[in-house]
Amino acid sequence: MFNKNIKLIIAAAIFAFAIYQIYESYIGNGIFLILLAAIFILLYFKNEFILLSFLKLRKQDFDGAKRLLAKIKNPETALTTKQQGYYYYLHGIMASQNNLTQAEKHLRKAEKLGLSMDHDMAMVKMTLAGIAAQKNRKNEAKNLMKEAKALDKRGMLSEQMKMMEQQMKRAASAPKQHYGNRQHMRRR
């Protein structure tokens, strides 16, 4: 909605007016204005479109989340570094449903920018491990799963990690049909 710097200017102006109101003995108005300024400061650190996109994703509304994220025109200037990380994290999660290459690109960018919560970073690593496993990069997938386990200190993703490891084991133990067919074709 507003650029990150404009949010701080608005918060400072509201806070200054709140101090004036308290000085003029309108203490109730001053307290209300201080709380209003706090909302703008909160929105500086937590972008409103990213928060709403998380709510849309929780309801499995991918189209709604994409529309909300599309309202952020220039993430490099409009968002702080961590917010940019979450911006690309959300894009990566949504892209992982149908385009693994695009999802990997967004998740790598989110990983590079960083996320505030360890379990969010663990989710990024786990998703990247799944993408690497599907692209037959087994060593990279194992390393990413190790990193994800280390980041998931509270065990919030332990169930998903177990499922992912089982899928990776099944994929590793599955016979290579293509290789066998090539040998069979060479014998003829």
Is residue 172 domain-shared with residue 115, that is, in the same domain?
yes
pLDDT at 139: 87
Q: Structural domain of residue 62, as residue ranges?
A: 47-187
pLDDT at 2: 64
Is residue 16 domain-shared with residue 76, that is, in the same domain?
no
Residues of the chain scoring pLDDT < 50: 178-188
Is residue 89 domain-shared with residue 111, that is, in the same domain?
yes
Is residue 3 domain-shared with residue 75, that is, in the same domain?
no
pLDDT at 18: 96
Is residue 162 domain-shared with residue 76, that is, in the same domain?
yes
As a whole number of angstroms, the distance between CA 164 and CA 153 comes to 18
**103-to-23, 92, 131, 132 alpha-carbon distances in Å:** 54, 4, 8, 11
Residue 147: both structure tokens together: 């990193």
Instruction: Give the residue ranges of DSSP H helices in 2-117.
Output: 4-23, 27-45, 48-58, 62-70, 75-78, 81-95, 100-113
Is residue 88 domain-shared with residue 8, that is, in the same domain?
no
